[in-house]
Structure 1
Amino acid sequence: MSTGSQTARRAVILGGTGMLGRAAAERLARAGWSVDVTGRTRGNLPPVLADLGVRFHAVERRDGEALAALLGSGTDLLIDALAYTAADARLLLPLLGDVGTTVMLSSKAVYVDAAGRHVNTAEGPSFDGPITEDHPTLAPGDMPHDSPEGYGPNKVAAEHVLLDSGTPATVIRASKVHGPGATRLREWVFARRVLDRRPAVLLAGGGTGIDHPTAAVNTAALIHCVADAPPGTRILNSADPDVPTGAQTARIVAGHFGHEWREVLLADDAPAGLGDHPWDARPGIVLDTSAASALGYTPVGTYAQTIAPSLDWLTTQPGSRFDADPYFEGFFDYAAEDRYLRAHPVS
């Protein structure tokens, strides 16, 4: 591990060109760290990271020899944004002897309610309050991880491997992450309506649903806090300091672009599917982040303060990038919205 006042601390980020990885890389590089990131192609490395001296490596996450060579004889901080299975985590164990602290990026998808439901079940979960890190999780699993049924169980399995390894490891569970570079920026549901100059936005459940967002820069700040803390084994939730409702989220997105529209707050008897949006969780899903605060973490900003770069980045991307994602199917039935608006004119 790097020591001494004249030597910059070194961080290695597996998956460093993705949304969370690039935020962590920029945060650490600006703080004087020496940063190496892996990715599929160098072209995915944002220019700002290259300008900050971040080094790119085309290393496959499941290539143990390449990972060993990258980590070398000493790494102060290893951030794994690509640990999806127990096998992924086990691959790292022989390499952690000279790693100061390991951070695994996980998800709130691991949490289950009293009925065993989670955020990827057909019927959403019903939590009885803010979710703390000791809340029950799914059982570890070893099925295909790239599915709604397999994602959470595999994440739990990967968490267990690292937490039980005896090496300093921190698991960070984030919620509905937003930031430049997102493969799925959920704000597209409202941003596309703004770009299409829709005169009204319809919101199911009166716009009261909430699903805690997490800015990538806030998770990066938490990672930085973990790196500065004494080494240890811990689980930390990561989420924005505020929890906007669906209506507030729509308002923030429209306001960013200077767009004005009529908010139509739908009652529960409105046609099924009308006014659906990604934050419509009722009862709401909120992560308790007091453990992170107790460690010394300070968020970069609120949702409204941190979403702006994502929205600016979104406008530089072709709309087809998001429309091609099956996740967004059904969110843009403008014909159904127009029929409802004609049948329910403003008095």
Structure 2
Amino acid sequence: MRVLAEDGWEVRAASRGGGSDPGWPEGVRPLALDRGAEGELAAALGAGCDVLVDMVAYDGGHARQIASLADRVGSAVVISSGAVYEDERGRSFDTQGEPDGSPRYPLPIPESLATVEPGDRTYGTRKIQLERELLASPLPSTLLRAGAVHGPHCRSPRELFFVKRALDRRPVRVLAYGGASRFHPAHVANIAELVRLAALRPGSRVLNAADPQAPTVAEIGAAVDEVLGVDSETVVFDGAPAEGSTVGLTPWSAPHSVVYDMAAAERELGYRPVTGYVESLPATVASIVDRLGGGDWREAFPGMANYPDLFDYAAEDAWLAAR
């Protein structure tokens, strides 16, 4: 919202709660909006808008909802996901739990890579359904396939894995796959810059959205330690944890790296990143520490409980003792 307002747009910021942020420029108008309520989005648009930025659109139903307003919207910029891609053997994020199911994507991944089939089954199939229906509509729509989103105020920050360990004075970090896993991050400021540029250049397109660097999980851990002023030992091992164990797994861990190609965004929009992962990390870490406030991490970040046994220190200690 801030970059659009600073670029001269009149911005209405709609959310379910209708709240605002003290960092927004003067003139941004908050609006309470439940897009699931019949006719509420259409009513909020009134006579229309030049650009509709949709951060939460999820599936074909949302695509049809947006497309139905094409007569009142100049163009749309909609957040999709890198989870839509599949490799040459049909493996994707959806198959990671299967034997040999981890996708082996080309590095970096271009937007031309094959995608999963659209449908209602999974996050990825719903996101590609969203993309295809919008691109087939008369409304000029830019779909941004975001990587691992990070930044201040994130509700499920992957960095919590290392931040909490540093705060708990854990002297060792154990990392599977040699600590070399890469899951390309996308800082909210870089995504905002892509939104800003796409708003200025309406069109129907899909573009990757990611940071200029894709650090390894070991590099991320070292960067978090530096921000917090701690010095931890990193212990790595090759391959996956033993069956039934989660020791060494992190929210970035995978047998094969995921890195997105940003050349199309540079070529089509003139995109240049506004920040890198390491440069942006202090504000992200400060936000996590503030939200933790010394309390239970599950209450502060309930979405992170979806990851298995993030802080099973007893299992880590047993693994280290056996080693």
TM-score between both structures, scaled by the size of structure 2: 0.90
Aligned-partner residue type, residue 335 of structure 1: A
Structure-1 separation of matches of 2:238 and 2:319: 13
Structure-2 separation of matches of 1:129 and 1:41: 40
Structure-1 separation of matches of 2:169 and 2:224: 13
Structure-2 separation of matches of 1:265 and 1:235: 37
Q: Per-residue deviation at 1:96?
A: 1.9
Residue 30 (structure 1) aligns with: 6
Structure-2 separation of matches of 1:156 and 1:136: 11
Per-residue CA distance 1:281-336 (angstroms, 9 max, x = gap): 23211111100011201111111112322211111113232266432331211112
Q: Which of residues 70, 81, 90 is equivalent to 1:116?
A: 90
Residue 21 (structure 1) aligns with: none
- The answer to whether the Cα contact below 8 Å between 1:239 and 1:289 also exists between their aligned partners in 2 is yes
Residue 331 (structure 1) aligns with: 310
Structure-2 separation of matches of 1:297 and 1:129: 20
Q: Per-residue deviation at 1:165?
A: 0.6
Q: Per-residue deviation at 1:268?
A: 3.3
Structure-2 separation of matches of 1:250 and 1:57: 38
- Superposed, 1:221-260 pairs within 5 Å as 221-229=193-201, 231-260=202-231
Structure 2 regions of 5+ residues with no counterpart?
A: none
Q: Which of residues 89, 103, 108 is equivalent to 1:125?
A: 103
Residue 179 (structure 1) aligns with: 151
C-alpha RMSD of matched pairs (Å): 1.8
Structure-1 separation of matches of 2:302 and 2:314: 17
- The answer to whether the Cα contact below 8 Å between 1:178 and 1:307 also exists between their aligned partners in 2 is no
- The answer to whether the Cα contact below 8 Å between 1:189 and 1:328 also exists between their aligned partners in 2 is no
Residue 292 (structure 1) aligns with: 265
Aligned-partner residue type, residue 156 of structure 2: R
Q: State the SS of the aligned residue for 1:34.
A: coil
- The answer to whether the Cα contact below 8 Å between 2:241 and 2:249 also exists between their aligned partners in 1 is no
Q: State the SS of the aligned residue for 1:42.
A: coil
- Whether 1:152 aligns to 2:127 is no
The count of aligned residue pairs is: 311
Residue 141 (structure 1) aligns with: 119
Q: Per-residue deviation at 1:166?
A: 2.1
Residue 92 (structure 1) aligns with: 66
Structure-1 separation of matches of 2:210 and 2:280: 12
Q: Which of residues 35, 39, 42 is equivalent to 2:15?
A: 39
Q: Per-residue deviation at 1:273?
A: 2.4
- Whether 1:211 aligns to 2:187 is no
Moved over 6 A (4+): none
The 3 A distance-change label for structure 1 pair 266 and 63 is same
- Whether 1:321 aligns to 2:312 is no
The percentage of aligned residue pairs carrying the same residue is 38
Instruction: Give the stretch that moved more between structures: 321-330 or 253-262.
Output: 321-330
Structure-2 separation of matches of 1:167 and 1:258: 50
